[in-house]
Structure 1
């Protein structure tokens, strides 16, 4: 396949999930081999932060990219949408340090990209095809990548609370599958953890409009899928592994989160650089 970029700019405004701050983003077409690059427009020096695994500096409740002392955090939903829509080159101008949360999923970003359209460019895409087994394991959780002719994700979520319990899904990714079965899945929080998160300066922009909240009795809002949690985990994984590049392979995970996902992306990216 040829590399792809947007046909025209696309803009969106909202609040950041963790910062709670108003933010505007504009996604611009970019030349071949640019990759995905975030540009902080609110700073005097417009620092550019390439969205690559080597620039991941934190995975506390979100994936953070940094360049020197400038950062962008909670990039995973937007990166997932770019992955699902097959965009290789894009400059993302952003006037704060966190993209908008939108509705807590990636469907808003996917629609934004679709409305902008895409164009093929005059250079072949350099796909990273997994040709060996990668495994990141912390003894309780793991994520791995194995060779596969395409893109596939198999994810098992294990939650100690009976309301959720064990959730599993396996998807062979196409653009239609991503849009219908993954992109609408929203981020999820346990009600008793919300106050602690906010005390730590996290989740300040979270509401029942952009986060699914549950307690020991049930859900505080209506689910889009019975297994929305594991679908959102897959959404996050696709955003995190996109930091390694346009990857093809079978990703298998049990209880994985941003830390393990990005460690896997870093291992793949390091091999790709050689």
Structure 2
């Protein structure tokens, strides 16, 4: 069921953000531009001959290895990776419609969190539009599971994420955190939490062409018994997992429900997002 509440929003003016890409290690630049009502979030590559617009939605996801990558199923080159932090920042800023031009195949990682993007979006200013915002209300439990990891969304009057993180590693261990959108400040509580990685995995990831742009400036590095760089929160790891859930769930636009996740990653998030989309399409038909 869709609920119509306040007006949709877009940016007042264009923003340009530059930085290094987390996985490719290449320099990247994106232009975030105001978009018309009911556009949603649309990406396209500036470096390709064809301007292939790729809408941020579950059906556009083409890769889920260590990030969320969307792309065209017809033009293989037209893909954009590591969109999840930017998507979370867009959600948190209250924007509904945006066109995003990307200089290459990946989004800049900035500091490994969503906060720098959030700051830029708010600084630019938002413009209210005429059409009402449509928010999808979850009316029955939907879930996805893989082995001992799962994620579910339950009917709820609001948007809430309860996440349980459990790593067989002394620095992370088990932790739990809950984010409720209507009662907590996304910018302060969630958006600043950075991505993290293990020192023991760096060489293997590099061999796979991943994390080539990773550094202490854009990720928390975890050694056998400590983090190399200081944490922003005592439980930064679980907060970052919630940030990823926010970004991946925004593939369906704004939704209302209570998400409960245990040890879930991008693959499970998108599996749940696909199931939610099926329900949305059923109602539209």
Q: Normalising TM by the smaller chain, what interval?
A: over 0.9
Partner of 1:140: 148
* Cα separation, 1, equivalents of 2:12 and 2:201: 42
* Cα separation, 1, equivalents of 2:9 and 2:240: 25
91-100 or 172-181, larger mean C-alpha shift: 172-181
Partner of 1:238: 246
Pairs aligned (count) = 274
Shift of 1:176: 5.6
TM-score normalised per structure 2: 0.94
CA contact (8 A) 2:170 2:225 kept: no
Q: Deviations over 1:155-183 (max 9, x none)?
A: 00001011211010011114961011100
Q: Tell whether 2:185 aligns with 1:177.
A: yes
Q: Deviations over 1:127-185 (max 9, x none)?
A: 11111101101131000001111110100000101121101001111496101110000
In structure 1, runs of 5+ residues without a counterpart are none
* Cα separation, 1, equivalents of 2:183 and 2:87: 14
Partner of 1:118: 126
Q: Of the candidates 91, 96, 102, which is equivalent to residue 88 of structure 1?
A: 96
* Cα separation, 1, equivalents of 2:139 and 2:131: 23
CA contact (8 A) 2:195 2:220 kept: yes
Q: Of the candidates 207, 228, 239, which is equivalent to residue 199 of structure 1?
A: 207
TM-score normalised per structure 1: 0.98
Q: Of the candidates 71, 85, 92, which is equivalent to residue 79 of structure 2?
A: 71
Counterpart secondary structure, 2:237: helix
Q: Tell whether 2:10 aligns with 1:8.
A: no
